Amino acid sequence: MSTEKSIVRISDDALALALGADKVAAAFEKAGATVQRVSSWGMHWLEPLIEIDGVGYGNAAPGDVATILAGSAPSIGRIEDHPFIAEQQRLTFARAGKTRPLSLEDYAATGGWIGLDKARAMSAQAIVEEVKASGLRGRGGAGFPAGIKWDTVRNARADQKYIVCNADEGDSGTFADRMVMEGDPYMLIEGMAIAGLAVGADKGYVYIRSEYPHAIAKMRAAVKHCAHIIAPFSIEIRMGAGAYVCGEETSLLNSLEGRRGEVRAKPPLPAIKGLFGKPTVINNLLTLAAIPWIIEHGGQAYADYGMGRSRGTIPVQIAGNVKYGGLYETAFGISLGDLVNRIGGGTASGRPVRCAQVGGPLGAYVPVEQFHLPFDYEAFAAVDALIGHAGITVFDDSVDMAQMARFALEFCAAESCGKCTPCRLGSTRGVEVMDQIIAGRDVERNLGLIEDLSDTMKYGSLCALGGFTPYPVMSAIKYFPEDFKNRDLTRESERAGEHA
Amino acid sequence: MTQEGGIAEIVVRHQDGKTPARGALLPILHDIQAEYGHISEETVRELAAALNLTRAEVHGVVSFYHDFNSKPAPLPAIKLCRAEACKARGVEALVPDAERAAAGRVKIETVYCLGLCSVGPSAMVGSDVHAALTPEKLNALIEEAA
Ligand SMILES: Cc1cc2nc3c(=O)[nH]c(=O)nc-3n(C[C@H](O)[C@H](O)[C@H](O)COP(=O)(O)O)c2cc1C
Ligand code: SF4
Ligand code: FES
């Protein structure tokens, strides 16, 4: 393979950078190669992943440059043929790995702006009808039909309306929003511009958590580069300030207005009275990013994927203690076990899988006995579990579920906006009680206390931070009682086992 | 260090004439925090006047968000993710040694998720991200930051 002709492609997404991609890229340049920085394929266990003429070389270090250029380094073969990629149904992530994130040329060459052009020739109502026909439901967690939300805003009368993209992505185990912003920012922008046409809004905001400096930089640059294409629609990029609760939509709106990120009581719905009191579409980033595909191909084409009332594809994020972690977009309906064991390859540690937390810090711990569950909003809800933003965090058998239950409460206490007592004080009290349980004191009575606290939080909280924290806590207790009761004995025997 | 001089200029920079002035409060606070490392009492007063808010309101916003400090941070910081996916990948086992190595020189700050959950444990220093942390890698970060 000749060094002159071939282009060496390396991702510049934050995850690749965190694993040393810049140093590897510099080493290739020093060796005289032409390097292109592209989006990530989402095969995270292989980053930094080098692609030359379609062939992939995983976990590249600067010292591997010579052998990779000579074609003698071990390769994974053609990346597109790798089962992890080949078996996906990538609609939202169709460009992942293939384009330079900020290149308008690459974007246009891969179908970019077709949806927007089509939408410009459609009536607002017709756009909303396509979104309704797609069956697209909000990807931020609640699964509310996007088309219905848009219709409410479209029908509201006001001198100003807004489109707000929720890119706060605070859930542990999730990174799909980040990957879109860093890998395919124009797709999100196109989706927002189409939303603007559909409801009559000419201004949009993207609210991005401050833990994502690379995404913020890419989005700022992208918005500048394509301002002329989306005009008269315009977009402002806003940075969060380190508050998980600001992912909750009304808290986010308060934050955009320059206020404390406290949750607002609903009604009024943001669709009627949102940002600065104006009708506002607020959607998760993945909801908006699905729009260009839907408008280009038609709502029905999107609805042809999926199962039950969960239509289309879902970008699943496989994370935690897993061998093959990354971004896996597929139609709804795939089983959790398939994702964790077959696609994810089980744990990275090589120990048995014990459970997975699905849907972030407010989602239930799902034991392996329930891994047959299909990815479907209703199927998960039926067993008190959550799909949420579709992050899967895998744990092996060394996890201490009492510690995880304690952490759920600790997280809630740290991130509570403080508005409701059950959330603010209940979570703090819960941590104290969990400490007693972990110390093996008065366990039965203290477990009763946790249950009461959970009920109070569930029914007395204004938003899902206080209201859903009981799910990880109670699922841990329900499926793994041995980690809570007789702790001394189990821990003792484990230690004995380890030394045996 | 006095902040007043630059504040007015930062406030002006953030007005677009389209949205209510107070809407720019977070971006303004971010700029001040980035420039001066903290947001002083005098600054709060000046911002309140410039944006037609009460001091209590501005103070309330500053105190609500983890990213804003009213005093300068005494030590350089490493943000270490201790959320679920990084716990599953072993971050807790790194903490005691890291705390010891950092003591008095670097602050190991807890953050919840950096979006690198498939390759944790993860940390951020400034805006540089690091993943697949081992005791050695984390120690090197501490020495670099100190
Ligand atoms: C505590 C809390 C945190 C949330 N965090 C996020 C988030 O980071 N991103 C997001 O899109 N939605 C988040 N949500 C859900 C939003 O409130 C809202 O449902 C969503 O933005 C609506 O968009 P969608 O219909 O497209 O999902 C959160 C909700 C709660 C209660
Ligand atoms: S449940 Fe917690 S976070 Fe949600 S509004 Fe109440 S206090 Fe705030
Ligand atoms: S949980 Fe640590 S990076 Fe997401």
| ipTM for this model | 0.96
> Which pLDDT belongs to residue B8?
83
The answer to whether B54 faces chain A, any CB pair under 8 Å, is no
Same domain as B139, residue B99: yes
Which residues in B lie closer than 8 A to residue A260 (C-beta atoms)? 60-61, 64
Q: Per the domain annotation, does B69 fall within a domain?
A: no
- Give the three-state DSSP class for A459: helix
Into how many domains does chain B fold? 2
Same domain as B138, residue B95: yes
Same domain as B85, residue B59: no
Instruction: Report the distance separating Cα A116 and Cα B66, nearest Å.
Output: 38
Say whether B22 and A173 touch across the interface (CB within 8 A): no
Closest CA to A434 of A408, A395, A466: A408
Same domain as B87, residue B141: yes
The answer to whether B125 faces chain A, any CB pair under 8 Å, is no
> Which pLDDT belongs to residue A486?
79
The answer to whether B84 faces chain A, any CB pair under 8 Å, is yes
Same domain as B81, residue B32: no
Same domain as B102, residue B58: no
Q: Which of A284, A291, A465, A468 to mutate to test the pocket of ligand 1 (most atoms within 8 A of CB)?
A: A284
The answer to whether A430 faces chain B, any CB pair under 8 Å, is no
The answer to whether A172 faces chain B, any CB pair under 8 Å, is yes
Residue A269 CB contacts under 8 Å (≥ 6 apart), including other chains: A152
Share of chain A above pLDDT 90, in %: 95
**Closest approach of A118 to chain B, Cα-based (Å):** 29
Q: Is pLDDT at B141 greater than 80 in this prediction?
A: yes
> Which pLDDT belongs to residue A145?
98
**Residue minimizing CA distance to atom 23 of ligand 1:** A283
Average pLDDT over residues A410-431: 96
Q: Is pLDDT at B91 greater than 60 in this prediction?
A: yes
Same domain as B116, residue B86: yes
Cα-to-centroid distance, A476 and ligand 3 (Å): 20
Which residues in B lie closer than 8 A to residue A416 (C-beta atoms)? none
Cβ of B120 closer than 6 Å to ligand 3, yes or no, is yes
pLDDT digits (tens, 9 = 90+) for A425-463: 999 999 999 999 999 999 999 999 999 999 999 999 999
Q: Is pLDDT at A245 greater than 50 in this prediction?
A: yes
Q: Is pLDDT at A101 greater than 60 in this prediction?
A: yes
Say whether A174 and B88 touch across the interface (CB within 8 A): no
Same domain as B119, residue B83: yes
Average pLDDT over residues A102-108: 98
Residue B55's domain spans which residues? 6-64
Domain with residue B41: its CATH number is 1.10.10.1590
Same domain as B84, residue B115: yes
Say whether B88 and A320 touch across the interface (CB within 8 A): yes
Domain with residue B114: its CATH number is 3.40.30.10
Same domain as B82, residue B37: no
Q: Per the domain annotation, does B1 fall within a domain?
A: no
Q: What is the DSSP string of chain B?
A: ---HHHHHHHHHHT--SSS-GGGGHHHHHHHHHHHHSS--HHHHHHHHHHHT--HHHHHHHHHHSTT--SS--SS-EEEEE-SHHHHHTTHHHHHHHHHHHHTTT-EEEEES--S-TTS-S-EEETTEEE-S--HHHHHHHHHHH-
Q: Is pLDDT at A474 greater than 50 in this prediction?
A: yes
Q: Is pLDDT at A388 greater than 80 in this prediction?
A: yes
Reported as a pLDDT band with limits 50, 70 and 90, residue A89 is very high
pLDDT digits (tens, 9 = 90+) for A253-289: 999 999 999 999 999 999 999 999 999 999 999 999 9
Instruction: Report the distance separating Cα A329 and Cα A42, nearest Å.
Output: 10
Same domain as B92, residue B44: no
Cα-to-centroid distance, A21 and ligand 1 (Å): 31
Q: Is pLDDT at A5 greater than 70 in this prediction?
A: no
Say whether B118 and A170 touch across the interface (CB within 8 A): no
Q: Which of B94, B113, B129 to mutate to test the pocket of ligand 3 (most atoms within 8 A of CB)?
A: B113
Say whether A241 and B66 touch across the interface (CB within 8 A): yes
Closest CA to B115 of A468, A397, A240, A187: A240
Q: Is pLDDT at B66 greater than 60 in this prediction?
A: yes
Instruction: Report the distance separating Cα A204 and Cα A282, nearest Å.
Output: 10
Say whether B112 and A321 touch across the interface (CB within 8 A): no
Q: Which domains does chain A have, with CATH numbers?
A: 7-86 (3.40.30.10), 104-302 (3.40.50.11540), 305-396 (3.10.20.600), 401-498 (1.20.1440.230)
Same domain as B43, residue B81: no
Closest CA to A218 of A187, A181, A193, A188: A181
pLDDT digits (tens, 9 = 90+) for B111-138: 999 999 999 999 999 999 999 999 999 9
Q: Per the domain annotation, does B86 fall within a domain?
A: yes
The answer to whether B129 faces chain A, any CB pair under 8 Å, is yes
Q: Per the domain annotation, does B22 fall within a domain?
A: yes
Interfacial B residues in 88-117 facing A (CB < 8 Å): 88-89, 111-117
Cα-to-centroid distance, A451 and ligand 2 (Å): 19
CA torsion, ordered A331, A336, A338, A340, to nearest 10 deg: 120
Q: Per the domain annotation, does B82 fall within a domain?
A: yes
Say whether B67 and A242 touch across the interface (CB within 8 A): yes
